[in-house]
Structure 1
Amino acid sequence: MVLTGTLVNGAAIIVAGCIGLMVQNIPEKMKTTVLQAIALAIILLGIQMGLQTEEFLLVIGSLAVGGVLGEWIGIDSHLNQLGMWIESKLKPAKSGESGKVAQAFVTTSLIYVVGAMAVLGSIDSGLRADHSLLYTKAMLDGLSAIIFASTLGFGVLLSAVPVVLYQGAIALLATYIAAFIPGPILEQYILEMTAVGGIMVVAIGLNILGITSIRVANLLPALPVLGGLIWILSIV
């Protein structure tokens, strides 16, 4: 089913969030070790994806052009501004439990929804019914949800709603692509998209480890750029 990975992702956040609510005192060292372990696994997954490319120049070209477009548009900056705007709207609220719930909901929703893994995993689910990337994301989101819920509270569980809506919409739209794009072109795009996405996944893992601070969101235009390059080469 197209939405399997998305539903598993949402369920993981809810279940893990409930666990986090029951376990309020997680040692800081344990939180760090778990996230680092998941980051290493994410990097390994990204390397495996990246090695699948058959046209490395397409990967480099799409990332370079996509990075320029992403920086010009300022995707990462706009997303950060959106987060700050939402939080500013919450400040006037009363300092009761409802305000805490809203803040936890907004904070974790931005973390889980804004990212390359959400987009790439959903496209993969829609095009190939391959949910492995979303399953990996579900594990990462679940483990982090335990930590977030133990510190931020019940609002973390509510972030499962935008995750399901956002990723589900991408997955469902992706299924229509096959009806308009010739099979060979689509197969090449999926293969090279996996490689481009793998590089982004590696960047996410490195960011989690604190080794880099790569603006991965600004690389997302590489995906449509890649499609354009493949289409141009097919008609030349």
Structure 2
Amino acid sequence: LIGELFDLNQKITVFGNRLELKFASKSKNSSISIAQGFVTASLIVCVGAMGIVGSLQSGLANDHSTLFAKALIDGIVCIVLASTLGIGVALSGFVIILYEGSLTLFASVLVPLLTDSVINDLTTVGSLLIIALSLNLLKVTDIKVMNFAPAVFMPIIFSLFM
């Protein structure tokens, strides 16, 4: 409901269209949507449990090993995505740095909220978003996945009331 209220999918599409106009002369393939690459890469990289757990380990224990492993996996995935979805994948790096950096910086504040059940719920919601994104990439559906992105944080909010 939050994503639909703010129409996040439309805002990302408008942002992607502005980027497409800026990079239109540099793009070799005009059929590639920068917005689609941006949204796809951002969601695939940000909704997994490794990002949350790795950022918390980095912020609390100064242990960056999980984030390094995640960076290697994400790098390979993004290279493959960029071959088909173009420059929008590279531009998603800013969102990823902001997301994981915020989690790392605010780790001490978030730790009491992130119980095992909350992390499991975050992972489940993230997995469902990845399934929806996959169905969109296969052109089976046309789900506005970005409108569902705030759902990733709902288990944290629900845990405050439980």
- TM-score if structure 1 supplies the norm length? 0.51
Distance 1:90 1:178, change over 3 A: closer
Any unmatched runs of 5+ in structure 2?
Answer: 58-65
Of 8, 18, 26, which residue of structure 2 is paired with 1:85?
18
Percent identity over the alignment?
Answer: 20
**Code of the aligned partner of 2:134:** G
- TM-score if structure 2 supplies the norm length? 0.70
Query: Is 1:164 the equivalent of 2:101?
Result: no
Query: Is 1:199 the equivalent of 2:128?
Result: yes
CA RMSD of aligned residues (A): 3.3
Per-residue CA distance 1:157-214 (angstroms, 9 max, x = gap)? x963x34333122112112343013547443322210011011111111111111111
Any unmatched runs of 5+ in structure 1?
Answer: 1-67, 92-98, 150-155
Partner of 2:3: 70
**Code of the aligned partner of 1:143:** V
Q: Name the structure, 1 or 2, with higher relative contact order (CA <8 Å, separation 6+).
A: 1
Query: Is 1:113 the equivalent of 2:38?
Result: yes
Q: Distance in 1 between matches of 2:95 and 2:16?
A: 16
Distance 1:83 1:187, change over 3 A: same
**Code of the aligned partner of 2:39:** V
Please give the secondary structure, in 2, of the residue aligned with 1:222: helix
Q: Distance in 1 between matches of 2:155 and 2:83?
A: 36
Q: Distance in 1 between matches of 2:75 and 2:22?
A: 29
Distance 1:227 1:89, change over 3 A: same
Alignment of 1:171-190 (within 5 A): 171-183=100-112, 185-190=114-119
Q: Distance in 2 between matches of 1:175 and 1:147?
A: 31
Number of residue pairs aligned between Structure 1 and Structure 2: 148
**Code of the aligned partner of 1:202:** I
Shift of 1:71: 0.9
Q: Distance in 1 between matches of 2:85 and 2:128?
A: 27
Q: Distance in 1 between matches of 2:71 and 2:130?
A: 10
The structure with the larger Rg is 1
Shift of 1:215: 0.9
Partner of 1:220: 149
Partner of 1:142: 79
